[in-house]
Structures are given as structure tokens and as C-alpha cells.
Structure 1
């Protein structure tokens, strides 16, 4: 049999799932009988990681190994530092900065191609491994994590179902699953969810995602650019609106489909990777949206950036007014999120757009609370809130897509 490894990238085509499910069988049999075959699981993960970094991407695999050595050194040096009873803030900040530097350099190289050195630093999944590392360092600082097992930590960082695009798990939650095989009844329940998420992922990514992203989006994009070049005015507005909704649907179904695959394979492996999406387009306000959209990322940013900056600012009395403090924290949070997506104007504007939207939403919520009797609350107002939130989100995705830049340069 001729295995075309070059095309077997993560969740990229149905053929990938055939080999994946065959390789999962021994692990599934073991878990069904209450045993976790950790050695086989390690070999299994290494093989599928090899499929991700094979061929022309071999240098990314080398970068991954180098990066893991660096992150291990930072994590365990800081862990040793904390074990001897020391807790200097500057040492903690240094550890976090050193962990983030490679990711920051990759983002700079991506934004400014003239600074790139071929094959240096970057590899698929660097963001999510960095987030996991920083999370562990911060929880070691807090005392929530007192011991890190090197083998479990390595598997946590390299957990292949989620390595390229999440969801982002937490070390303590992952370790609890990894150290204990489920009972037979628990694993049967896990497999039911795994099968359900697998087929739902196929529906989202390969059917709906394909329809919106591969079939419709290029046609709408071509028409919008053509009308834009012809200075179509109102006609362009309709095409732009169509692009906005189509791209939003594609972004959701493609990403949610990928996340469902990652969760499904995790459940087959007896690991309860958290869900990433929870019907985000029925959100009644923008804050609720971020509790439903890419949840593991938004919760990571909330816990390790927003909350920590807020507590730091309150402790040091940087901003005394709590409302102003929350607004500054939102701008910082979503500004960093925008920069994380890329050092391009539309990513940064996308982040600031959401910060401003949440600030406006907070004003509205305070107004509603103060004028509870005057502001109606019924099925109509709830539907209106969902409609407004949906369109605000879709507008942000239009900015995020970069299509406005294409139109601008088309006009130029």
C-alpha cells in the first residue's frame, strides 16, 4: 500500500481519519478494559506528529524539538526556583518573557518578511504550546502547581489532537485524566460523545465549511472585487454584506469542525479536552459571545491577562475607578489578542473593535440595571439582542478577514 504521508496533515481529508482510527484501536481496547497503554500512546502520538512535520516541513519538526528543550529548561528552572522558597516578581516576569519570546519573533517575522531567516523558529502549533507553557509557569507562581512530571508535561505540550489549533487544555485537568484510566461505563460514554463529535465535525468542516468557504466565498469575493473596481456604490455594499455573512459562516464551521475533531479524538484517547464552541451565534451580547466562541482561548486570555492585570492595577492603585480599570483591561486584553493573530492592521483593529464593543455593552448593562423598570425584557428584545450581537460579530469577522484591504488595493 502506498501511504501518501505528504497529504496526511491533521484533519485535512477523510483518508487521514482512516489511518487515525486504525491506530486508535489498541488504545481504545485498553481503555475499554480499564488500562491506559502509555507507551503505545506515546509512540502513536510521535507517529502522527511526524505526519504533521514530514516532507517539506521537516525543519518545523526540528524547530519544535529545539523549542521544547528551551521551554522545558525555563519551566523546570522556575519550578526549582519556587521550590527553594523564592518568589521574586522579576524572576517570574523573566520566565514568562523568555517563554513568549520565540512566539513574538515568529509573529514579527510573519509580519515583516524581510526579517525572516528561512526555517528559523516557526512551526505549526507554536502559539498553543506557548500558551500551555505560560499557564504552567503562572500556576507554579500561584502555588496551584507544586510538582510537574516531565513525562506528563511533555505529553501535555505535544498532545497531538490539539497541537496545531487547540483547544487549549489546562495541565492539572489533563494530568488528572492522563493518570487515571476511565471505568468501562465511563469510557463507553466517552466513545458515544467521540463518535457524535466526529460526525458533527465532518458536517461542519467538510460539508458546511466547504460550501461556505470553497464554493460560495470565492464567487462572492470575485463579484465584490469586480463591482468595487467598477465603483459600484450601493451594489458593492450588497456584495460586501454577502461576503461578511458568508465568511463568518465559513470561519465558524471550519474552525468549529476542526475543534470537534480534536475533542473527538481526545475522547477516544480517554482525555476530556474541553469544548471550544457553544452556539456562539445565539449570544445576546458581545460578552456572552466570548463565553461561547473559542472558549479555551478566551478563558486563557481572561485568566492570565485580564484578571492578572486587573489585580495588579488594583493592588498598586494604578487606576482607582473600577469602571475605567475594566475598560483599560479590555483594551489591553483584546489589543494583545489582535497582535497575537498577527501584526497587521486588520487583526489589531479586530481586537480593538471587540474591546470597544464590550465597553459599550457594559455601559448598556449598567443602564439596564439602573432603569430596570423602563427597559422591557421579552422575547422580542431578546431576539433583537441576538440579531444585533450577530451582526456586530460578523462585522468584526469582515475586518478580521482582510478583505477590506483587498477592496482598497483593488480601487487603488
Structure 2
């Protein structure tokens, strides 16, 4: 079940909200956990047992870690168990395939492994479980003695299948006690609607062009179509995933949870380091706190700092998928960050011209790396890079920009660019006096609803027409 579906909007969400607020307060966590399990089972019933077993094992492990004399060994076993389960389902086929490629020239019979389907959300709930165990080991949190509360932390449906990655220590007090007032429900509904509009009205429309461009056969893709499709994909992935994050944050707010922000206008970044402070914040900070800093961070000299950085970004790429494309995507980001650390910051002028130049470099850098992220294979990515520079020349392109372009895209793309660049916070700052005037008269909610209502109506119409496109991050 996805948030942008009739089943979720017309059935699951209204019933869950009604059941939650009709349930006596001491039992609300149970109601919400049960609803979250139903939410997961709706789309992945065959892997429900796997998730429940993972919850039970990690619940007991956390208590054992808290009591153990050799806590380091216990947390090591806990992390290893979680990574093993993730590895079996997500990485086993990749590892076996590459071993066969290496050993076959030596006459070694190939290993045969039946491909396993990837359970939805396993990368996210595994990282939730690992951070929980490590925080118990570090004494940053106490183990939860209520299996219901811990189950809710793992299964809470707004973040279950595609994040953001929420640390237990950040919401442990909210699991014990929280209040969802009418203001929370209305604010959450507005935030959810904004995310729904991002997904349905922007990302899904841009996906049509992006999918068309990345599907053109080798030799038939012109440079103009390649760049146009890449622009659309660059905007699509931002509005798709930030839209999902907005919906998750809004849904959680309806039930009294306060999730941290996951995106902060990354396309407005002035360096790749700044980009990663703004893009998928919950994932980048997870790797910072549980991989980069334990490896030594930037405390042991430049060489080890770069080593730690490369480990983190190779793992970040591999976390997204078990293909060489994702590893190369992580390596590309590692390369840009390495260059930024090597080149002293005072070498680059701080003038306005240079600031725009730096921003242009960042935009070009992340756009090019999205080719690796979107392409099906490494060969596909290389061919696409070739098309971007006009090699080889497509003498008879099967798709042209005029075939992909429409009047609708003529206003949608500029709007998406402006919104992705941070127009909304800029407008809030410039019109702060007006906003304060509305707040003083308690009419700001009505004004916000007046802007959001049309987006909700058009999004609902699009969903009703069956224009469905799953969230990109569902496959991770």
C-alpha cells in the first residue's frame, strides 16, 4: 500500500485515525502498531513473519546488551545478525554472481543461487534496529521493556517502508507519552497534502519523460533528449523522495509524533558536502554517527579522514542497491568530496560570480551522478554518458525533445526548479510581516488551507484517473 493510492487515502488512513482516537489512551500504541502491521501485510504478507521475528530478536538482544558484562560482544552479535539477514535478501545474488565471474575462468563450477525477492522496507527497518542496539550499548537510550512500544517504533507505518530513518533515542519519550491535538492533526494533514502534491502533481509527471529518455536504445538517443530526460529525472527523484518524507512527517504528526526534517533544499547547495547535509539527512547522519565517527571521523589526519569518507560513501551506494552502478554512484560522490577536502576553501573566491560558479558545479555534479543511480546497468550508464556529450551521434533518433515536450511541462519544469531551489523558505522570510499578521488573528490556517486545497483536489483527481507511479525509494 502506498500513500498516494485510493486504498490508503479512502480506507486505511480514515479507519486508522478513527480507531486511534477512539481507543483509550493506554492502548493507543497497540492500536497504531496493529494498524502498521496491517499496512505492511497489505503489500508484503509473505515477509511479515520475517519482520516480526526481527522485532522479537532485537527486542531481546537490547535487554541482553544492557545486562551483559561483555556488552561489546553482544552488540557485535546483534549487528551481525541484522546485517546477515539484510545480506541474504539484498546482496547474496550480487556476491554469488561476482564470485562466479571471477572463478569461472579457472574452471570452477558456478554456484547456483535462486534469486530472493527483496522484502519492502528491509533496508530501513534493519537500520532502525541496528541504531537501537548501538544506542543501548552506548547508554544513549534504555532498552524498551514493552514489546508493543518497540514494535511500534519499528513498524510505525509512516516511516516503515521508505524512511526517514528515525533514531529510537529521538522518539523514545514520544513512544511513552505524546499528545495529538487538533492542531497537530491539521498541521500534519497540511504537510501530508504538500507531499502528496509533490509526488502526484510533479514527480509522477516528470517520471514520464525521464522513463522515456532512459529507455531509448543505444545509438538512438540524442544529446538533447539525454539532457532533457536527465533534468526531468533530477527533479523527479527530489520531489518523489522529499514528497514521501513530507507525507511521512505529516502522518506521524497526526498521531502526535514529531519527526526531524529529512530534506533541506539540497539543490540549493554550494558544495557536495553541503548537498549531503541537506539530502536524505536521516541516512547521511546515520552513516556519520554509526560508521564514520566510530572509524575515527576526521580526528586521525587527512589520510584516514579520506579513508573513512570513502568507506562511508561506498557503503552508502551499496545500501541503495546490490549493483555496481550504486557502488560507482557512491564512489563518484566520494571523489567529489575528496576533491573538496583537498582543495583549500580559501583558494576559491567568495565573490558573487564564484558563488554562482560553485553552485553550477554542484548542480552538474549531482545531475551526472544521477545517471549512475537511474541506469539499469553500468553499460547503460556509460552509453548515457556518451549520449550526453554527443557520442555516438544519433543519426536517426527514435525520440526527440519535441515528442516529449508539452505545454504542461512548459510551466511544470520551471515551477519545479524554483521550488527545488528554495522558493518557499525565501517567500516565508520575505513575507514574514504578513505571516505574523495572520498568526496574530488566528487565520493563518485558513490561508494555508486555501493554498493547499487546490493541490489536494488535483492530486485526488490524478489518483482517481489511475496515474500510478510507485515511490523510487520503495526498491531500497
TM-score by structure 2 length? 0.71
Aligned pair in 2 of structure 1 residues 196, 16: CA closer, same or farther (>3 Å)?
same
Q: Which residue of 2 aligns with 1:239?
A: 225
Task: Check conservation: 1:166, 1:259, Cα contact below 8 A.
Answer: yes
Tell me if 1:62 matches 2:55: no
Matches of 1:118 and 1:368 in 2, distance apart? 47
Matches of 2:259 and 2:141 in 1, distance apart? 19
1:173: how far off? 1.8
1:384: how far off? 2.0
Task: Check conservation: 1:248, 1:398, Cα contact below 8 A.
Answer: no
Q: Which residue of 2 aligns with 1:6?
A: none
User: Alignment partner for residue 395 of structure 1, among 340, 363, 368?
Assistant: 368
User: Alignment partner for residue 113 of structure 2, among 112, 115, 118?
Assistant: 115
Note the alpha carbon deviations across 1:355-400, whole angstroms, 9 max, x for none: 1111111223xx223x5xxx43133322222221111111111111
1:307: how far off? 0.7
Note the alpha carbon deviations across 1:211-246, whole angstroms, 9 max, x for none: 111x22233234x42xx334x6xxx33322222222
Tell me if 1:133 matches 2:129: yes
Aligned pair in 2 of structure 1 residues 368, 58: CA closer, same or farther (>3 Å)?
closer
Tell me if 1:102 matches 2:99: no
Note the alpha carbon deviations across 1:47-104, whole angstroms, 9 max, x for none: 343243237x3211122222222323333322221xxxx2454443222212221011
Q: Which residue of 2 aligns with 1:4?
A: none
SS in 1 for 2:289: helix
Aligned pair in 2 of structure 1 residues 157, 305: CA closer, same or farther (>3 Å)?
same
Matches of 1:303 and 1:193 in 2, distance apart? 31
Q: Which residue of 1 aligns with 2:153?
A: 156
Matches of 2:2 and 2:36 in 1, distance apart? 8
SS in 2 for 1:343: coil
Q: Give structure 1 regions of 4+ aligned residues with deviation exceeding 4 angstroms.
A: 27-30, 407-411
Note the alpha carbon deviations across 1:291-348, whole angstroms, 9 max, x for none: 111110111011100011116x96xxxxx5x111110011000111111122211000
Tell me if 1:229 matches 2:252: no
What is the correspondence of 1:145-224 to structure 2 with a 5 Å cutoff?
145-150=141-146, 151-182=148-179, 187-213=181-207, 215-222=208-215, 224=216
Q: Which residue of 2 aligns with 1:324?
A: 303
Backbone CA RMSD of aligned residues = 2.7
Q: Which has the higher contact order (CA 8 A, sep 6+)?
A: 2
**Structure 1: where are the runs of 5+ without partners?**
1-8, 315-319
Task: Check conservation: 2:202, 2:239, Cα contact below 8 A.
Answer: yes
Aligned pair in 2 of structure 1 residues 18, 256: CA closer, same or farther (>3 Å)?
same
Aligned pair in 2 of structure 1 residues 178, 140: CA closer, same or farther (>3 Å)?
closer
Matches of 2:329 and 2:213 in 1, distance apart? 22
Q: Which residue of 2 aligns with 1:256?
A: 242
Matches of 1:387 and 1:263 in 2, distance apart? 31
Tell me if 1:276 matches 2:266: no
Task: Check conservation: 1:27, 1:269, Cα contact below 8 A.
Answer: no
Aligned pair in 2 of structure 1 residues 41, 136: CA closer, same or farther (>3 Å)?
closer
Task: Check conservation: 1:64, 1:123, Cα contact below 8 A.
Answer: no
Q: Which residue of 2 aligns with 1:77?
A: 64
SS in 1 for 2:294: helix
Q: Which residue of 2 aligns with 1:50?
A: 38
Task: Check conservation: 2:33, 2:151, Cα contact below 8 A.
Answer: no
Matches of 2:13 and 2:49 in 1, distance apart? 27
**Structure 2: where are the runs of 5+ without partners?**
98-111, 387-476
1:195: how far off? 2.5
Note the alpha carbon deviations across 1:171-219, whole angstroms, 9 max, x for none: 122121222333x8xx354334312211211211011011111x22233
Aligned pair in 2 of structure 1 residues 26, 307: CA closer, same or farther (>3 Å)?
same
Tell me if 1:363 matches 2:363: no
Number of aligned residue pairs: 368
Aligned pair in 2 of structure 1 residues 199, 154: CA closer, same or farther (>3 Å)?
same
Q: Which residue of 1 aligns with 2:10?
A: 18
